[in-house]
Structure 1
């Protein structure tokens, strides 16, 4: 395992798991209730996003420590614009590729954690080897960039803006745009796949479809008004499971049993709306299962596009 991969596997989330556990001892007061089953909302998520504005009680950068963004050896650093009036100029990495007569499929991969690093990028080689152009965007407030961290909401706008930028890369096939992501990126993958028809398929990896549960575990990441239940609902894929706009493959590690019931509920709700959705587990934990999960996402994308 390389030093970069070791750095990736030392993600902030695994460190904070123990801290969060100490914050949530039985009998401690909660700022919000975690429903046994988040309600299903029949409204289209994309339309909900066009009207709802999150109320941030704290404004500032993303919480994770970060490295300065420098283009990887096998990639280029580009910029894309996001936010109201496109006021945010954000960075992304794009794999180096040669334009061919046949346009290439592309994958927008959303990194784990709240900062982008080289350890995330080294995991992208299987996509490149399979013939995909890869774009990995950093999001608002990450890595010293512009914008306020909101936790799973305004960041979706950045993902959609990054998808627009990817679609206009030279030699990219706009009919074969895919999205995948790990951990926090997996959650954003679900929400983005509910927000646009641009993606041919989506592969969220170890993403949490239940923001109530996520922020119960990581309350220090809450920047929004947690007295408003709707703030959690618009961050919860389970609430809008009928809104997926492309085929989806949801996967997590066998040692992540806490995802089992939520993944099953997400799939049941989506299937009732005639959405093509697959769920699976891969041997391993939140990080060790990732290489095999990426390989399976490639197989899924190739099958959808066949």
Structure 2
């Protein structure tokens, strides 16, 4: 989430509960086919590129890196000027009935997640699976409720917390070590006995969407597709945040160092994209529309599987229709077809 005071998205992420409740209501007692009909009624069709006629790229024009993303990332060690946990506020809530609190390994860290399997799931590796990356730099029960329709539709669902969040070990790094944690979460979920490794999906909202987008750069990851809602950031984001009173605590590295900023977002690394990513953006969330539109144009030039799809709502209210659209997309997705 961009907490820049010049943008209409502040730390009040929990105000999105009304949108999440709307999506939960969509999933309660509905069949997958009914959910698909609801998504279509929201004006969200099957996957496709819907280019805006006029889009203002928020990125400064610059030469693209020539060294592959993974090589540059491996060679770079982020330099944090401050160590400590995520600034996101949280409470230590117990999971609801039918949801387990589990741990998954990420390097030397042991991180927590909520995990649930659909009724009737067996060990036959037949169920699709979703990893959901929350926004607001902390996880809460409403984050899981946002994706309960996937569970009701027969998906195994994992909602991980990342390093430095919710009492986890590790330091908050802002789209650096957190991406390693996200990869580890996908690997952990894909290894579960009832999960079809060919149908593991990732979705993230706001800053969680930026995490999900970065997963598209890892060729060995057992990931069928990722998506974001209001999650396409640019290198210049970090400089703006660092210069603002409300957001400077988020940027604990040098925002003037291109190695620190360009390795944390998808745009400069688009040439090395390997997994499909769908960027959902609210029609009333113009800042993210422009960012996603710029990437979509470049992706078309490169032949990369990135696409922008507009849905109703602003940065907060767009989450419900975006998740409904992604459920439709993944439910109809058949590997190898």
TM-score (norm 1): 0.84
Equivalent residue for 1:281, pick from 288, 292, 310: 310
Corresponding position of 2:109? 88
Contact 2:99 2:115 in 1 (8 A): yes
Contact 1:40 1:241 in 2 (8 A): no
Q: Aligned residue pairs: how many? A: 276
Q: Does 1:229 align with 2:258?
A: yes
Task: Give the superposition deviation at 1:214.
Answer: 4.8
Contact 1:255 1:284 in 2 (8 A): yes
Q: Does 1:170 align with 2:193?
A: yes
After superposition, give the CA deviation of every residue in 1:200-243 in whole Å (9 maximum; x if it has no partner): 11111110331322551433310112342210111121101122
**Separation in 2, partners of 1:124, 1:70:** 17
Aligned to 1:105, the other structure's residue is in SS state strand
> 1:272 and 1:64, CA in 2 relative to 1: closer, same or farther beyond 3 A?
same
> 1:42 and 1:267, CA in 2 relative to 1: closer, same or farther beyond 3 A?
farther
Between the two structures, name the one with larger relative contact order (CA 8 Å, sep ≥ 6): 2
Corresponding position of 2:296? 267
Equivalent residue for 2:325, pick from 269, 272, 296: 296
Q: Which range moves more in the overlay, 195-204 or 234-243?
A: 195-204
Equivalent residue for 1:99, pick from 103, 121, 134: 121
Contact 1:40 1:238 in 2 (8 A): no
Q: Does 1:77 align with 2:109?
A: no
Corresponding position of 1:19? none
Corresponding position of 2:148? 125
Task: Give the superposition deviation at 1:188.
Answer: 0.5
**Separation in 2, partners of 1:292, 1:124:** 12
Aligned to 1:89, the other structure's residue is in SS state strand
**Separation in 2, partners of 1:182, 1:7:** 10
> 1:10 and 1:43, CA in 2 relative to 1: closer, same or farther beyond 3 A?
same
Corresponding position of 1:28? none
RMSD after superposition? 2.1
Q: Which residues of structure 1 form unaligned runs of 5+? A: 1-5, 12-33
**Separation in 2, partners of 1:211, 1:106:** 31
Equivalent residue for 1:36, pick from 49, 60, 65: 60
TM-score (norm 2): 0.76
Aligned to 2:200, the other structure's residue is in SS state strand
Corresponding position of 2:285? 256
**Separation in 2, partners of 1:69, 1:42:** 46
Detail structure 1 runs of 4+ shifted over 6 Å in the superposition.
Answer: none
> 1:161 and 1:213, CA in 2 relative to 1: closer, same or farther beyond 3 A?
same
Task: Give the superposition deviation at 1:10.
Answer: 5.9
Task: Give the superposition deviation at 1:38.
Answer: 5.2
Aligned to 1:250, the other structure's residue is in SS state strand
**Separation in 2, partners of 1:249, 1:142:** 26
